[in-house]
Structure 1
């Protein structure tokens, strides 16, 4: 991994270099021990991704209560989640590159400040429109915060054993955010749905203060950075339209003029972005980064994996809540073994990847999804906790724990420090778009109705996505390409 050319910057009163490179030197490639500052740093990075998952899953559970109090239709209420996903997925790539160009800690602090302020606005919203707007702005803030946090992780912890260990911990928080959010959101919504907008405020402020106090200042840049405005606008418009089109397919259908037109226009915008990047003097994104086939395959894999995972949760919700009449917090308890599995396995993933290699750990995770989804094909009129649901939950946790961390490690390997934000944005964008796409495909496969047999086509689609994800491991990536700019 190449080092940033920027000079070290001193923290006032510390007497020691505080750049990410200096932080990395505290541990070395093979050191088993981290300093207290490095532990705090990984907790800050992981806390950002936990907050993202926590925020969105709490809102999912609270939608019925919000609809009732604000008089929202079902079509309007779904944008409480859709607006967040739209902004999050749309801004991730731009957010990651902006963090590379203008300072990762700076972007993270500003994003956390915006997250706290907009959460406060959501607490006092008295109509659907301002609440949905606040959700879009929070998604935008998350779209800048997530790649900034992830690229800070990859530039703080050197490639190899230390980064593997860091991603294992990061993955624990990522998975815990969503699973715990369902349970916490159900409890808070039972008191008052506005509490779900209160909780992120102290968490985001705590992360903001922690970043200012414990993360090293952004190193000075060798020259003034210019933003490729044309590239930024076409990339942002293309990504927003692509995510919006995918999210809207559940309502409009895959063959509607609106859907086909959305895909065509988003493709045109992204093609225009590529043309701009090939001709502009200082491109927003160096297109040569896509010659790293390992990065490309990791993005494909994570998109397919998360598409199946989102579809699995959707089908499980239909089965337990619509057909069985369970409450959301009861479904969260079914997924609790998955979350506990991630928490138990995650901290040791770094050691496993060091010993057996990233590819073998990833293969174990991807294979675990197959029996999980096969078990779900056995669901019957009465929930079978002990031989179907709970074993499937544990297998899903194993698959998620092993796969996501390994894909993140693979997707950031061999990428230069100055492009780690871009790599993080790419991976997170693939995850979000893949999740939305998988959910839309599964939704389209399920025949409208409430009979159990109508869920089976959706389960078969999820199983097919798992098989496709596994097949990506047989794509030859060849030797790692050089990471120097063209």
Structure 2
């Protein structure tokens, strides 16, 4: 077996003691849990946060704050993880993982202590969220690589399954915890992560050990790193602002700045690829794509992320904007209850995640990953058959089905990707995998929002105008309100505001009879009006997601079969070269 020239094992994980792998698993799981909780805890608490600093996120000129609070953290993690993964291969994964824990905790402390109010406070909070994102990027970039280093090959699937349960748990716990804490004080949603961050930072520094000795005199690929960071950041900013209204259009794809951002971002990414093909120590290891299993796994990972990222947002808006009000919940309470009603998806993932990971250690990843994507495909198709005012039993059953599908796919696919690369390149491989996943989440939310907004833009104005006229509003005012950007109504419902209260001018509302005001601001007027146009766009988005699931299933299926070999020692596994991995 050819020994990698880049790296040698200092010691096998077993030399660090029989419990080291569990120390690595528990610490990285805590890190991922904390990072994912904080990515979603803000979503539910946004109304309380903006009220606390005196900002109306739906007012003209203020929606930028809303977008950056929603997506800024995700954009930072999407753009930095692959760079940090490469740097971690150069300077030590554990060392930079520890640094990520410390930076994340610092960001949480700064957010808790955010001074002032108004625009100043909003800008500072966005900056502090970006600092959190830098810390989260170190955690995402290295946790998978540290687990792969710590566990022998025949146990990695199980470890990945447990670790990824933390990611799903974090996303759901964040929704519920944000709703509970925001009722007390918005600062508590940032305070809650500080003790865990301090503990995790100290524990990681004390217990985690470097198991790979990096080679000396490595150089950072500055041209590649900068073109990648700028290109992907500018592209994601352009895509994000594409969902904002521009002029009389409900979306901003005709905005010259959006077009310029997309063109410049893509041009920089093309330049990045050309640079990486020519430099001696590239940041993005393009030769890893010569490994069929690595390429197929990342394609499937990208497509899965494009279906999963926007799914949670759309289901939450469905619950908050339509189903929960129709079932008697006040708009202010819908964010918390939406998180609670999404719990069945977590249950499905918790059941299947570690089980499929453990079984894939024995039988290989291909069947589990492919069946997982097929189950998600079936779930998307069946969601289109539900009426907008569904029986929750069927909705919950579909959430469990999709959670099982995600659990069957996630751990086996991640394990297969990480097993396919040499030990000295696991950091950058982990970063590349996380980049595909995080960028896909941002793209997914944009894609779902665009499709649903397009459906609303085509059908909602006439439905809203007719409904408002029918209850007594003057035709000119009804027409004016009906042509407001539909995205404002979606954001209002998502934030827990009554959409009609945000769309109707207060001067007009106060001139209406009390019975008319009650009807307009009631729990059934807006849901019944928006349901038809909203479900049309949602069904199109679900069908597109089903197609992406099918392609991901095919990508998972065409990867090579797992060789029927007994478990091998981790020390031997660490010496596989790229070429040798490609032949497996």
TM-score normalized with structure 2 length: 0.75
Cα distance in 2 for residues equivalent to 1:243 and 1:46? 28
Q: Is the 8 A contact 1:305 1:466 kept in 2?
A: no
Q: Which residue of 2 aligns with 1:79?
A: 68
Cα distance in 2 for residues equivalent to 1:473 and 1:154? 24
Cα distance in 1 for residues equivalent to 2:426 and 2:152? 12
Q: Which residue of 2 aligns with 1:351?
A: 358
> Greater CA deviation, 438-447 or 125-134?
438-447
Tell me by how many angstroms 1:24 deviates: 5.0
Cα distance in 2 for residues equivalent to 1:430 and 1:222? 27
Q: Is the 8 A contact 2:30 2:200 kept in 1?
A: yes
Instruction: Say which of 69, 84, 92 aligns to 2:52.
Output: 69
Q: Is the 8 A contact 2:111 2:128 kept in 1?
A: yes
Cα distance in 2 for residues equivalent to 1:133 and 1:466? 36
1:283 aligns with 2:282: yes
Q: Which residue of 1 aligns with 2:216?
A: 223
Tell me how large the CA RMSD over aligned residues is.
Answer: 2.5
Cα distance in 1 for residues equivalent to 2:446 and 2:305? 12
Tell me by how many angstroms 1:50 deviates: 1.3
1:53 aligns with 2:59: no
Cα deviation 1:355-401 (Å, max 9, x = unaligned): 443111112211211332233223335341112x1111111210111
TM-score normalized with structure 1 length: 0.89
| Residue 397 to residue 479, structure 1, CA distance change in 2 (3 Å) | closer
Q: Which residue of 1 aligns with 2:312?
A: 313
Larger radius of gyration: 2
- Structure-to-structure mapping, 1:74-473, within 5 angstroms: 74=58, 75=63, 76-125=65-114, 126=116, 127-159=121-153, 161-217=154-210, 219-251=212-244, 253-323=252-322, 324-325=324-325, 326=329, 327-387=334-394, 389-446=395-452, 447-448=455-456, 449=460, 451-454=530-533, 455-473=535-553
Cα distance in 1 for residues equivalent to 2:133 and 2:87? 16
> Greater CA deviation, 246-255 or 59-68?
246-255
Q: Is the 8 A contact 1:90 1:239 kept in 2?
A: yes
Cα distance in 1 for residues equivalent to 2:341 and 2:5? 46
Cα distance in 1 for residues equivalent to 2:8 and 2:423? 14
Gaps of 5+ in 2: 245-250, 461-528, 563-575
Tell me by how many angstroms 1:421 deviates: 1.2
Cα deviation 1:406-442 (Å, max 9, x = unaligned): 2212222320111111111111111111111122111
SS in 2 for 1:78: helix
Tell me by how many angstroms 1:343 deviates: 1.9
| Residue 25 to residue 465, structure 1, CA distance change in 2 (3 Å) | farther
Cα distance in 2 for residues equivalent to 1:328 and 1:55? 16
Q: Is the 8 A contact 1:4 1:418 kept in 2?
A: no
**Aligned residue-pair number:** 466
Tell me by how many angstroms 1:484 deviates: 4.7
Q: Which residue of 2 aligns with 1:16?
A: none
SS in 2 for 1:283: coil
Gaps of 5+ in 1: 9-18, 27-33
